[in-house]
Amino acid sequence: MKVGVLVTGDTAVRAAHSLSAHPGIEEVVVIGPARSRSFRVAPDANECDVLVGTGPSAPATARDLGVRLVWDGDEPASGVAVWGATPIGLTLALAAREPDPRTVAVAHPDLDDGSDHQVRFPDPIGRLKAADTTYGKKRVALAHSPNQFAACLAVGAERRVTIVDDGAFLSGVALAAGVPLVRDEPIPVWESALTYLQNASAMGVVMAEDR
């Protein structure tokens, strides 16, 4: 599979680096006009099987290029093959593996402060005020991390599953891990939760579990 990267910010660039060493990825190219010291720059996406990109303009760009997109948006859009490829989507994938998820929460330095209730995240993040919201019609609590780290937390009836990592790295992997999910029908990452989590693990994300 050849992957084209839309130059839409740091997360897309980080995703490119995670993808470049992933099995099944033949090549990662940057879609120009752009400059890159790490990847070949292609003038168009004609040779690409899929694109990765972030932000509200990425789906329209992918449609113009004629190649489907793996995206960080929270809802389906024309031209998008996989969406929700973010730390929030990664958390919802964790929750999808639990029969009765009681707490589903994310802390990330890019998120806003919450005020609805407190959530105890693993160290070095700790207890934070979180805001209850929905993402892709799924309930999740979001909190602003006070440092560079991000955390994904899913607490079920029998176990607690967490991910803690550098926030920027985690965002890049969450986007990259969506690429192998591309199929004929568009899906959010949590609808193929096990494969998505396995992809993220192969790209360096470590998941911890306690019962």
Q: Residue 93: pLDDT band by 50, 70, 90 thresholds?
A: very high
pLDDT at residue 90 greater than cutoff 80: yes
pLDDT at residue 80 greater than cutoff 90: yes
* % the chain with pLDDT above 70: 100
The contacts of residue 184 (CB under 8 Å, 6+ apart) are: none
Q: Where are the beta strands (DSSP E) in the chain?
A: 2-5, 27-31, 40-42, 50-53, 69-71, 80-83, 103-108, 117-120, 127-135, 138-144, 149-155, 160-166, 187-188, 207-210
The span from the CA of 113 to the CA of 141, in Å, is 11
> 153-183, pLDDT tens digit by residue?
999 888 999 999 999 999 999 999 999 999 9
Q: In order of start, what are the domains of the chain with their CATH numbers?
A: 2-85+170-206 (3.40.50.720), 87-167 (no CATH)
Residue 34: per-residue pLDDT: 86
> 15-63, pLDDT tens digit by residue?
999 999 898 899 999 998 888 889 999 999 999 999 999 999 999 999 9
Residues 131-139 have a mean pLDDT of 95
Query: Across the chain, what does the average pLDDT equal?
Result: 95
